[in-house]
Amino acid sequence: MIDQLFLNNFKAFRSAGIRLAPVTLLTGLNSSGKSTVLQSLALLRQSYDSGILMSIDGDTDSYGGLLLDGDLVELGTGQDLLHEDFAPSPSGGADPQISIAFTTIDEQQYGWTAQYVPEQDVLPLALAIGPSDWRDVPLFSRRFQYLQADRITPATTYPRSHHQAIGRGFLGARGEHTVNFLRHHAQDVVPEGHPLRHPEAGGHTLLDQVVAWMQELCPGVNLEASEIPGIDSVRLSFGFGGTAGLDSTRRRRPTNVGFGLTYALPIVVACLTAGPGSLILLENPEAHLHPRGQSRMASLIAAAASAGAQLVVETHSDHVLDGTRLAVKQGRLAAGDTAVHFFRGNGAGVEIITPTVAEDGSLSEWPEGFFDESDHTLDQLLG
C-alpha cells in the first residue's frame, strides 16, 4: 500500500509530498491539482502496460520512458507536463527533470525521473528505482482500477473484450468493460462475514451484492448483464421489481433509466471486487447521484478499505466527505486509515491543507473554501 507520493516539476506541482491512506479524499477548487495526483499514478500504470516503463531487455544501465498519451491518460507532450516554475535539476544539468516517486507502508521506495523533452509524448527516463519484480506492486498488478470522471453513459450495448474484462480483470478507464466483467463474474461468491457483503442482499453472489448496493442508490432497482449472441457486445438492463436477474419483469435499457445508475455501476463493481492489495483510483464518484446516494457511495468506499483495498478519491461532494467521517465515527473505518487533502491555489503554485479526522469523525480544521459554500449561502439567506 502506498504511504507517500512525491511529485516534482509535474504539472501543478513544483514539489509536493502527499500522504495516501487506505481512503484518501482529494478536494478543492477546479484546476487546483487534484486530478494531477491520480494522473501521476495512472501515467506510471499506462507506461508499465505499454512495456516501456522498466529497463530495456534487462539492462540495468538502460531505462525506459513515460508514455504521456495512452488509454488511461492523455497528457500531451513534455511541455504540457512540466511545471511552469520548474525546479532545476538536482544533478546540476541544464535541462529540468520530472519525477514521480512513492514509498509504501513496508518502507519500500520506488521512483522514476524523466528527462524533459518539449515536443515528445514519450519522455526517456534518466533514473528508475525499485525492486526486481514489479508484479508485486499493486499499481502494476491485476488489483488496479482507474475510473475517470468521464465514465460510460447509458447505451444499448457495451463492448465484450475478453482480454480486458476477463484476462486482466480491468473495468476500463471509463468503466466500459464493467458490464462484461459482471456478466462473467455474476455468480462469484462473496463469503459470509466479508466487509463488502451487504446485510440486505438477496443472496451470496456478486450480482446479489451489486444489486443490494445499487439499491442504496436507487431503492428497488435490479440489473442483468447478458451476452448478445453473434456480436462482440453485451447488454445491460434494469428492472424495478425488487428481484435480481431473470426473475425480474419489464426490463428497461439504460437509455430509459438515466445517467446516475450507469455512472455509478463501475464504481460499485470496482469496490465490491476489491481485496487486500487492491489500488482503486476514483474521479468524482458522486457524479449524477442524489445526496443520499453520494453518502452511500462513501459507505461502500469505506467497506472496500476494510477489505484491504486502498482508494484514492477525487471528490467535490461534502456528502462523500461526511459519509467518510460517519464511517469513522461508527467504527467502520479507522481514523488513521483516512487522509483528507484540500488543494488551493496560492498564486505561486498549489497549497495543500490536510485536516486530520478524529475518532468521532470531527476534523482538526476547516480552512476557508473547504466545503463552506452552504454556510455562506445560508448566512446570506438569513441576513
Question: Which tens digits make up the pLDDT trace of 154-206?
Answer: 898 999 988 899 989 999 999 999 999 999 999 999 888 888 999 889 899 99
What confidence score (pLDDT) does residue 85 get?
Answer: 87
- Is 133 a residue whose pLDDT tops 80? no
Judged against a pLDDT cut of 70, whether residue 246 lies above it is answered with no
Indicate whether 257 and 175 sit together in one domain. yes
Same domain, 193 and 119: no
Do 15 and 99 touch, CB atoms closer than 8 A?
no
pLDDT band of 375, cuts 50, 70, 90: confident
Give the cell for residue 292: 443520499
* Confidence band, pLDDT 50/70/90 cuts, at residue 263: very high
Q: Using a CB cutoff of 8 Å and minimum separation of 24, what contacts does 156-159 make?
A: 156/235, 156/253, 156/254, 156/255, 157/228, 157/231, 157/233, 157/234, 157/235, 158/233, 158/234, 158/235, 158/236, 159/232, 159/233, 159/234
Q: Which residue has the higher pLDDT, 57 or 94?
A: 94
DSSP H or E stretch at residue 7: strand 2-10
Q: Across the beta sheet with 2-10, what order do the strands follow?
A: 13-19, 2-10, 97-104, 109-115, 122-129, 65-67
- Tell me, yes or no, whether 157 and 129 share the same domain: no
The pLDDT value recorded for residue 330 is 96
For 10, the enclosing helix (H) or strand (E) is: strand 2-10
Tell me: do 186 and 239 sit in the same domain: yes
Is the residue at 375 inside a domain?
no
- Between 249 and 298, residue with greater pLDDT: 298
Domain-ending residue, one of 236, 268, 300? 268
pLDDT of residue 62: 56
Average pLDDT for residues 298-312, to the nearest whole number? 96
Q: Using the 3D structure, point to which of 246, 268, 290 is the last residue of a domain.
A: 268
Is residue 248 pLDDT above 50, yes or no? no
Q: Do 67 and 110 belong together in one domain? A: yes
Helix/strand/coil for 72:
coil
Residue 57 binned pLDDT confidence (cut-offs 50, 70, 90): very low
DSSP 276: T
322 domain residue, yes or no: no
Please state whether beta strands 158-159 and 233-239 pair in parallel, antiparallel, or not at all (unpaired).
antiparallel
Quick one: 205 and 91 in the same domain? no
Confirm whether 356 is domain-assigned: no
97 and 168 housed in the same domain: no
Q: Tell whether 198 is covered by a domain.
A: yes
Q: What is the mean pLDDT of residues 204-210?
A: 94
Same domain, yes or no: 120 and 163: no
The whole-number average pLDDT for the span 244-251 is: 56
What is the pTM assigned to this prediction?
A: 0.92
- Whether 376 maps to a domain, the answer reads no
How many domains would you assign to the chain? 2
| Rounded mean pLDDT, 4-13 | 95
Residue 96, C-alpha cell as written in the block: 529540468
Question: Is 371 contained in some domain?
Answer: no
Q: What is the pLDDT of residue 60?
A: 44
Same domain, yes or no: 6 and 129: yes
Which domain range does residue 221 map to?
152-268
109 and 157 housed in the same domain: no
Single residue among 91, 106, 133 that ends a domain in this structure? 133
Residues 97 and 210 in one domain: no
pLDDT digit string (tens) for 319-361?
999 999 999 999 999 999 999 999 988 766 789 999 999 999 9
- For the chain, the average pLDDT equals 89
Cross-strand partners of 341: 26
- 281 occurs within a structural domain: no
Question: Does residue 78 fall inside a structural domain?
Answer: yes
Residues 9 and 119 in one domain: yes
Q: Which of 264, 259, 219 has the alpha carbon at shortest distance from 239?
A: 219
